[in-house]
A = this chain, B = another copy of it.
Amino acid sequence: MNEKPHLSCPLAKVALLLSDTWTMRIIHTLLHESQRFCELERSLVGISTRTLTLKLQKLIEEEVVVKNDSVYELTSKGKKLKGVLSAMEKFGASA
């Protein structure tokens, strides 16, 4: 395999976007309020500079996040992830 093709399934695309340890947690943090790099670093205990940099870059590419004057915030697309996040939290709480 390894085509990363016209993923017929929209779920597969989203899964690919979100399938890592940090992405959803970054979005979670940004959902509360825009944050600077070092603030994110402090909120996300355990994340490395490198990883945070990489994830933010990817999220910017995907237009989920924008950066203005060293401040990161969710785009309107990014805010739509709130539904996913709430669902995950709800599951996490109930299970």
Chain B neighbourhood of A45, CB < 8 A: 1
Integer count of this chain's copies in the complex = 2
From A20, A90, A91, name the one whose CB has the most chain B CB atoms within 10 angstroms: A91
- Asked if A58 lies at the interface with its beta carbon under 8 angstroms from chain B, I say no
Q: Within the complex, which residue of B19, B85, B91 is in contact with A81, where a contact is CB–CB below 8 Å?
A: B91
Nearest chain B CB to A28 CB, angstrom units: 6
Question: Would you list the 8 A-B pairs with minimal beta carbon distance, nearest first?
Answer: A10-B92, A1-B46, A14-B92, A87-B87, A84-B87, A83-B87, A14-B88, A15-B24
Count of interface residues, chain A, beta-carbon cutoff 8 Å: 37
Residues of A within 8 A of B (CB): 1-3, 9-16, 18-21, 24-25, 28, 45-47, 77, 80-81, 83-95
